[in-house]
Chains A and B, each alone.
Chain A
Amino acid sequence: MSWLTQTLTSSIGKKVLMSLTGLFLCLFLVVHLIGNLQLFKDDGGYAFNTYAVTMTTFTPVKIISYLNYFFILFHAFWGIYLEVRNRKARNVKYNLIRNQSTWSSRNMALLGTILLVYIVVHMGDFWYKFHNEPLPYVQYTEMLSTGEVFSQVMPAGYTQDVKQVEFVNSDEGTRTVIVKDLYQTVSVAFQNFLLSFFYLLGMVAVGFHLYHGFQSAFQTLGINHPKYSPFIKAVGIWVFAFIIPAAFAAMPLYFYFKQF
């Protein structure tokens, strides 16, 4: 075994792989949230739909997204493997346990499994449909002078070869964009109570997972310092366990209550 595989397969190395992939996924969550906040823009989905095209066509973003899918799968299955291994380290269970640790920290594998199921459903709902299903198209006309945007749903059966058709009419001073209406797909999907509720549960799981996970990742990398650790813990709890899941959870809630 080379020194590198020896390092990465040691108990500490295995954890470092969990830590690094986990931190990457935390970073992804921030970017994903910033992009998705465009769902709250009252522009008929113009910003969100064109953003969706950029994210699925711009090559560097595509490379990072496939890396991201790989890290999600790696983090999930490596985590399950570690959990199985760790359980073997106690072959006879205790009769009575009063553990002095947080519930999150003891249930990372359970929370992670919930999140894996959530991610599969989530990607099936939107990612798969966006890539593989004939979603309706929408045409946006932007007045270049005022910045006003008018949207118009394309007739049923309309399709185009590229993800985004764009042309500028300099006589009329307008820019026209035709894209798949993912915004509409999202808003219709979240009108379903069960799906919205499932998404809320998913976000609760993210919150609890990161309540322990974020700060734990730094500890695994050996970062524990009286100056920085309180800051890392605060960011883990407030930003990653509370604000980010709450902001994501606001999306299904927004569309669910908008229908009434």
Chain B
Amino acid sequence: MIVFSVNGKRVDLDIDPSTPLLWVIREQLGLTGTKYGCGMAQCGACTVHINGEAVRSCVAPVSRAAGKSVTTIEGLSPDLSNPLQRAWLEEDVPQCGYCQSGQLMSAAVLLRGKPQPTDEDIDEAMTGNICRCGTYPRIRRAIHRAAELASSGGAR
């Protein structure tokens, strides 16, 4: 039995502990906002937080979450009120949208550590998240915008 929390809710699972966290989140827990893209930590579509740290859930065995707190895109905010989601709306970032959960989850960790990131900070934090549609220019603008929104009192 593996026990952890997902978006604040306790989860008890009787599951092979080597199963990647991604598939537990998607298939057992039915939270499909976290996406599969590569299965080898190359693209970042599966990024979630474990105790606040960005993790590629496609290569993280579910055992790694045991006793910890997992946040997925569904837990970022209940109502699109997170400054990142607001900024993503303002900049109209997504195209196909498939990678955007992972982009937002990586950006959330960046802003927690660096509330006013430079372009270099963004390069470093976001380079593991591929967007095939090429929304990078808008992602960059949106992260700067989210930093502004957060500092002007919009932070959760």
**A and B: bona fide binding partners:** no
